[in-house]
Structure 1
Amino acid sequence: MAGHAMNKDVAPSILPSIALPFLALLAACNMGADGNASSGDSEQGELIGARIGAPFTLTNQDGKPTRWDDYKGQYRLVYFGYTYCPDVCPVDLQRIMQGFSKFEQARPALAAKVQPMLISVDPQRDTPAVLKSYVAAFHPRLTGLTGTKEQIAKVAKDFVVIYNPEKSDGATDYMVSHSRTPYLFDSDGKPVALVPVDDPATADVDEGAPDKVLAFLEKWVK
């Protein structure tokens, strides 16, 4: 993640309950390796059956309580990041939401069934007011979610996301290392597949291009 992604070697020790094949896939995505989750020939997403996600109550960009179950019946496109991220988070979000906009144009009825959301891993700085202006820059339907330090820690654990604020005591300017795993959940809230993101190690291939996000959504949203 342009110098700020969690090292893939930490995942197995922190997440022993996840099967090793899934850990390998998750680690590869964290480091940006072949982020195009829609490139395989399988008719099932690679996250089918994985233990990812759980009910939560967080606070949205308007300061209102927002529950995971508020989106029952909708697909959920979930990205974990933070507004002060200097590089990868805004680029990923821009391209994902550009792909989503293309999906809205091509398949408006299906796109209406998808709720994109950004869950902050930096609750100290990402207040609802900060999130409100940030998510509005990407798409009017992108929801920003934050909470207390304890709430975010639990949600991150439930969604198999690793993050670590890199700061000294009292510091106000710091980075947050975090895993890079944008998820698509189905209308029952079950994980389906990893949303395509670019791999910085493959300069000649753009795995996270908006057209690839569009193809991904066309494949999985029914």
Structure 2
Amino acid sequence: MDIREVTCTAYFWKLLTIVALSKDTKYGAPHELISSRNGCRNRATVGVFSWKAGALFIATGAGLYYYFTTEKAKLEERKRQEAADSKVGRPKVGGPFQLVSHEDKPFTHMDLLGKWSLIYFGFTRCPDICPEELDKMGEVVDAIGGLSLKDYGLMLILLPRCLAWSDRSAFFISCDPARDTVPIVKKYIAEFHPRLIGLTGTYEQVKAACKAYRVYFSTPPNASQNDDYLVDHSIFFYLMDPRGQFVDAFGKSQTADMVREKVDKAIREYP
């Protein structure tokens, strides 16, 4: 909660306490003095809680409600603007794609929405770099997924954002579609994190996905499953937010701890 909201809330309750406990006064004169001067009066107009006090109570409550709602709207708008400003100058990464999961089910960019995602492009016959990066990505998923409510400062508003790593939040996209068929991808990802989802497709489908994420790959377009070749490709995995927007990219030089800190920060600051 914003410090101004805390201060105003304390003031609001203090004011209500004063109004509720005060005796009826007129121009500062106590109730007993008014009664002695004016004699008998209509008891409906005096007492611990008078009509004037009630009107003041309602007016004060309405004023504070208006203040809180307008200030909250301004605060949310500032957060949205800050988030938008932070993305100025970032490359356009991500976009529509149509692939097939290791479960042989259609998978598109729409399936990424509603969750934080880490996405890595590679190929199953990669001798060392791909396994190392997938292991690192798995460490990050475990670290973030293991954060408790205490780690987030008991901020209940962050709960939906803290549910960052569902069973479909880490992805391996093959950029060697000729050899990385669905069964091969399924067998390959089983060696890594249990939440890892493998994706493949036709050459054109993979090419479109790589283009959307600005991934370079050298797979020959006419390659066959029996050909022997290595694939050069970009060595990054990408962090995408629940709206499917690009947040950050992590290269080989960054350790799992470095990536975890950045991912954690992105989740905390997500508008």
TM-score with structure 2 setting the length: 0.57
1:97 matched to 2:138 = yes
Q: Output the aligned Cα RMSD.
A: 2.7
Task: Report how many residues are paired.
Answer: 172
Contact 1:166-1:177 at 8 Å conserved across structures: no
Say if 2:116 and 2:242, in contact at 8 Å, map to a contact too: yes
Mapping 1:1-222, distance limit 5 Å: 49-107=90-148, 109-112=162-165, 115-165=169-219, 172-195=227-250, 197-199=251-253, 207-208=254-255, 210-222=256-268
Q: Which one scores higher on RCO, CA 8 angstroms, separation ≥ 6? A: 1
The TM-score normalised by the length of structure 1 is 0.69
Of Structure 1 and Structure 2, which has the larger fraction of its residues in helix? 2
Aligned-partner residue type, residue 266 of structure 2: W
Which stretch shows the higher mean deviation, 116-125 or 69-78? 69-78
SS class of match (1:53): coil
Q: After superposing the two structures, state which structure 1 stretch, 58-67 or 161-170, moved more.
A: 161-170
Structure with bigger gyration radius: 2
Q: Deviations over 1:22-55 (max 9, x none)?
A: xxxxxxxxxxxxxxxxxxxxx8877874211111
The worse-fitting range, judged by mean Cα deviation, of 82-91 and 170-179 is 170-179
What letter is aligned with 1:221?
I
Cα distance in 2 between the residues matched to 1:53 and 1:221: 19
CA shift in 2, pair 1:51/1:167, >3 Å: closer
* Between structures 1 and 2, the one with greater strand share: 1
The secondary structure found in structure 1 opposite 2:232 is strand
Percent identity of equivalent pairs? 34
Kept after mapping to 2: 8 A contact 1:184/1:192: yes
Amino acid at match of 1:68: H
Q: What are structure 2's unaligned runs of at least 5 residues?
A: 1-82, 150-161
The CA deviation at 1:173 is 1.8
2:171 match: secondary structure: strand
| One-letter amino acid of the structure 1 residue matched with residue 252 of structure 2 | D
